[in-house]
A and B are shown apart, each in its own frame.
Chain A
């Protein structure tokens, strides 16, 4: 019999399944205008003039340029370098310059064709290597957005004394989030002057912060509401501030509501992507395979503006060693600016890039030492008590070895390795088969002191109707926030789940719980929900002696507890554990409160004629502390590993002249049901004492793991080590042709 999986069913699920959930483009929109964006066509230049065709009936339209921005012309985030609308110069193609609104959607696109921008072109920098060389300065003073150094021990001395030194270079491309709902936002000004925006977004308070700056309004006059959101994956962390600013600017000028919804091409060509990266490793080891030194160089392409790039680089650098113990480590990480659309947040946030290199590098090391990559990992993996590159001692909840052993067993790694070696010797088989493994860690929550600065708040309210409302700004973007918080609050309070409702993410109603990013929703915000629920429970118990067991009883007690107030409200704010210390200057200390661990075995075959790679099976194990809802954890893992399979094998963002050439789902391919193998997920429970009921973050970890295992499996199958993603058939062909030793196979 099938085991019944525990956990709350998604409370918002039935509406989604019936088509009743309202996404931004489904919201009633009486009397509103449709907005659209005119974008730059050159990667770098000065704007000489903007001309509007005199024959076009502009009186039907509302237009806006940078001159119409009442406040500061920027999308406020970490830095204030990115304008809401380009003014005087453009630093990348597809940069917004003019906005147009019209009552009819098709007319607004027609209007865009009647606006002409004249440029004085300037020489652009389009690759990260050119940016680093800084022959053409595109960002003062040296084209560098951020540099990070991590130092532990004496790397040069250790490399000099090592039995073997293995070097390797690895490359990863842009990746598009490809949420199925494109970006979209509505905006209107209410009679009291409040700006109200509603749309598809992950972080309502980020949008508020940006609008406050651009519109010179006090916080109370900017209200941001999340509509049902059709996926984010990081792509709706920062860019919604841009779309909201544009819609609001048009709404302000029009005096009417304005809606901007991107089509697929605009969304793909203009919004943020995962940062491309080049990672170099120089690794010193003993003859037995014990790590003695890791010297790692990371270069990432931030695009034209800083957006979240400094933090992406930080996470990339902090994960660059992989989950291994090494006494001497040097990481030099650099984020450069190029004249390409800015890159930004995407599930994994810098870690998939550096972990791809760290994990695939074991294949090279294994070759150099003539030892098995799995055995080498076992020799070096972190355990409780291990010290990381930043000097963090891992005190608890370290499941790295458990997840590795779990997938090796379930995925029958060693048996298959032998079996496939036999299979590949026979020329009668139409394919080569291979198996690969990888193991990764992912820091849960914000890096370093981030959580202390965020100082997130949540509230729980017991209403007079006996209903428990959870108030947080954490958004539901498909990952299951509503179900997780409902279950957590109900379980802690000791009441049925039906008594709990989650307030919608509306800055007018909920406190700032920080952004919905960084695998922090469950662990950090969930922890606050748990604490608030404990306090509310205590308040109820103080007054009644026991928890009401029927709804009628609850209503009676709620009325008594509320008194004259509409609700009894309990608030909690994040307090940073004193033993978690981080020094941002030296990059020493506890980089993250705790790490999740995951391992994957990829079983695949490569067609001997077409070089197409077909993944036969993917086995993944994760240690996410305690799984609050196994079904939700499985869902996160399966979705994340599938995105990673796309990253490894399919998704090829093709850039020329600083513009993505294939911004359509027709030619930027993401995995279909047929590209995705049966997925097997195991959950290993290593509870974390500070997480709610022992939980750690899960959202990003699965995105980190599969790509290096795919490359390792292709290596196992073909003997070719492909160090650049995606592993397309033409890349395999190229590798075969340029490697004479392999022409015979």
Chain B
């Protein structure tokens, strides 16, 4: 029996302790928002947050998250409402076929929440564990940079973001 917190709720899994976390979430708890793309920790589609850190749930036996806090895509936004990151991805064109999207959103969400920067090169590094075959990443990087800038503006941190903004604009050729 494994006890863990999933999206703020304490859940109990009664199956084998070596069952992969991705299977526990999808089949055990019916949280099919988390996807499986490769089963070996390469594509990142199954990314969830464990105690706030992005983790590939296809590589984690459920016993390893005993007593820990797991967040999945289902924890973001609401039925009628998108989280700012989801909204930015929608508007920038950061989701196409959508299969990598939940994992990508969770990785990016952790980046934004733990104070990651809006520099495209840094964002690319943060997202390097999540493969996307549709977008070429540019629109995803743009969306994450935008949300980080919005976050910094809310915090009144004016110095760093303004410089990062202009660099983003130059590198992505957006001001045209």
Q: Are B120 and A233 in contact (CB under 8 A)?
A: no
Q: A178-B133, A180-B100, A181-B97 are in contact. Are A20 and B39 (CB under 8 A)?
A: no
Q: Which A621-670 residues have C-beta < 8 A from chain B?
A: 631-632, 634-635, 638-643, 664-666, 670
- B131 contacts the other chain (CB 8 A): yes
Question: In whole Å, how far is B85's beta carbon from the nearest beta carbon of chain A?
Answer: 9
Pick from A642, A664, A672: contact of B38, CB below 8 A.
A664
When distances are taken between beta carbons in the complex, the residues of chain B under 8 Å from A178 are 133
Cα distance A666–B41 in the bound complex, in angstroms: 9
Which of B60-68, B152-160, B168-176 forms contacts with chain A?
B168-176
Chain A, Cβ-Cβ closest to B92: A631
When distances are taken between beta carbons in the complex, the residues of chain A under 8 Å from B10 are none
Which of A280-288, A336-344, A477-485 forms contacts with chain B?
A477-485
Q: Are B32 and A22 in contact (CB under 8 A)?
A: yes
1/0 contact trace for A539-577 toward B, CB 8 Å? 000000000000000000000000000000000000000
Chain A, Cβ-Cβ closest to B168: A678
1/0 contact trace for B77-113 toward A, CB 8 Å? 1000010001001110101111111100100000000
Q: A14-B82, A666-B40 are in contact. Are A2 and B175 (CB under 8 A)?
A: yes
1/0 contact trace for A177-196 toward B, CB 8 Å? 11111100000000000000
Q: Which A225-246 residues have C-beta < 8 A from chain B?
A: 228-233
Cα distance A15–B37 in the bound complex, in angstroms: 19
Q: A665-B38, A673-B141 are in contact. Are A19 and B74 (CB under 8 A)?
A: yes
1/0 contact trace for B137-174 toward A, CB 8 Å? 11111000000000000000000000000000001111
Q: Are A231 and B42 in contact (CB under 8 A)?
A: no
Question: In whole Å, how far is B166's beta carbon from the nearest beta carbon of chain A?
Answer: 12
Question: In whole Å, how far is B56's beta carbon from the nearest beta carbon of chain A?
Answer: 12
When distances are taken between beta carbons in the complex, the residues of chain B under 8 Å from A232 are 97
- B73 contacts the other chain (CB 8 A): yes
When distances are taken between beta carbons in the complex, the residues of chain B under 8 Å from A640 are 136
- A67 contacts the other chain (CB 8 A): no
When distances are taken between beta carbons in the complex, the residues of chain B under 8 Å from A672 are 127-129, 131, 137
When distances are taken between beta carbons in the complex, the residues of chain A under 8 Å from B174 are 2
Q: Are A180 and B120 in contact (CB under 8 A)?
A: no
- B116 contacts the other chain (CB 8 A): no
- B72 contacts the other chain (CB 8 A): yes
Question: In whole Å, how far is B97's beta carbon from the nearest beta carbon of chain A?
Answer: 3
Q: Are B86 and A17 in contact (CB under 8 A)?
A: yes
Cα distance A679–B93 in the bound complex, in angstroms: 14
When distances are taken between beta carbons in the complex, the residues of chain A under 8 Å from B136 are 638-642, 676, 679
Q: Which A140-178 residues have C-beta < 8 A from chain B?
A: 177-178
Q: Are B34 and A264 in contact (CB under 8 A)?
A: no
Cα distance A634–B37 in the bound complex, in angstroms: 25
- B55 contacts the other chain (CB 8 A): no
Q: Which B16-48 residues have C-beta < 8 A from chain A?
A: 26, 31-40, 42-43, 45
1/0 contact trace for A662-695 toward B, CB 8 Å? 0011100010111010111000000000000000
- A88 contacts the other chain (CB 8 A): no
Chain A, Cβ-Cβ closest to B76: A18
Q: Are B134 and A635 in contact (CB under 8 A)?
A: yes
- B124 contacts the other chain (CB 8 A): yes
Question: In whole Å, how far is A519's beta carbon from the nearest beta carbon of chain B?
Answer: 16
Question: In whole Å, how far is A25's beta carbon from the nearest beta carbon of chain B?
Answer: 7
1/0 contact trace for A334-372 toward B, CB 8 Å? 000000000000000000000000000000000000000
Q: Are A673 and B96 in contact (CB under 8 A)?
A: no
When distances are taken between beta carbons in the complex, the residues of chain A under 8 Å from B89 are 17
When distances are taken between beta carbons in the complex, the residues of chain B under 8 Å from A53 are none
- B49 contacts the other chain (CB 8 A): no
Q: Are A13 and B133 in contact (CB under 8 A)?
A: no
Pick from A16, A233, A664: contact of B101, CB below 8 A.
A16
Question: In whole Å, how far is A619's beta carbon from the nearest beta carbon of chain B?
Answer: 8
Pick from A177, A182, A263, A666: contact of B42, CB below 8 A.
A666
With a 10 A CB-CB cut-off, give which of A9, A233, A679 has the most chain B CB atoms. A679
Question: In whole Å, how far is A672's beta carbon from the nearest beta carbon of chain B?
Answer: 5
- A23 contacts the other chain (CB 8 A): yes
- A394 contacts the other chain (CB 8 A): no
Chain A, Cβ-Cβ closest to B87: A17
- B132 contacts the other chain (CB 8 A): yes
Chain A, Cβ-Cβ closest to B170: A678
Q: Are B42 and A664 in contact (CB under 8 A)?
A: yes
With a 10 A CB-CB cut-off, give which of B36, B73, B176 has the most chain A CB atoms. B36
Question: In whole Å, how far is B87's beta carbon from the nearest beta carbon of chain A?
Answer: 8
Q: A16-B98, A632-B93 are in contact. Are A674 and B134 (CB under 8 A)?
A: no
Chain A, Cβ-Cβ closest to B120: A678
Pick from A14, A20, A25, A634: contact of B36, CB below 8 A.
A25
When distances are taken between beta carbons in the complex, the residues of chain A under 8 Å from B105 are 17
Q: A179-B97, A181-B99, A678-B120 are in contact. Are A17 and B138 (CB under 8 A)?
A: no
Q: List 26 A-B contacts (CB under 8 A).
A: A9-B91, A10-B95, A13-B98, A14-B82, A14-B86, A16-B97, A17-B90, A17-B105, A18-B33, A19-B33, A20-B33, A181-B99, A231-B133, A478-B134, A635-B134, A638-B137, A638-B139, A639-B96, A639-B136, A664-B42, A665-B40, A666-B42, A673-B125, A676-B137, A676-B138, A678-B172
With A179-B99, A642-B135 known, 15 other A-B pairs at CB within 8 A are: A13-B90, A15-B98, A16-B95, A17-B77, A18-B73, A18-B76, A19-B31, A230-B100, A231-B96, A233-B133, A638-B136, A639-B135, A664-B42, A665-B38, A680-B172
The list of the 10 closest CB pairs from A to B, nearest first, reads A19-B33, A478-B97, A230-B99, A16-B98, A638-B136, A642-B136, A19-B73, A478-B96, A665-B42, A26-B32
